[in-house]
Amino acid sequence: MDKSENRREQYRYVRHDKLFVQALASNKKVDVTNVTVFCYSCDASVNGLRVELGVALAINSLVDLWVAFEGVEGKFYLRGHVCWCYEADDTMNLYQTGIELEDAYATDYGVWVELLESFSS
Residue 2 lies in a domain: no
DSSP letters along 73-98, please?
SS-EEEEEEEEEEEE-TTSSS-EEEE
CATH number at residue 53: 2.40.10.220
Instruction: Indicate whether 3 belongs to any domain.
Output: no
Helix (H), strand (E) at residue 110: helix 109-119
pTM: 0.86
- Asked if 80 contacts 100 with a C-beta cutoff of 8 angstroms, the reply is yes
* Structural domain that includes position 100: 13-119
Number of domains in the chain: 1
pLDDT of residue 121: 66
DSSP state of 72: S
- What pLDDT score was predicted for residue 33? 65
* Residue 7 lies inside a defined structural domain of this protein: no
| pLDDT attached to residue 32 | 63
Any domain includes 84: yes
Flag residues of the chain having pLDDT under 50. 1-5, 30
* The predicted structure's pLDDT at residue 45: 94
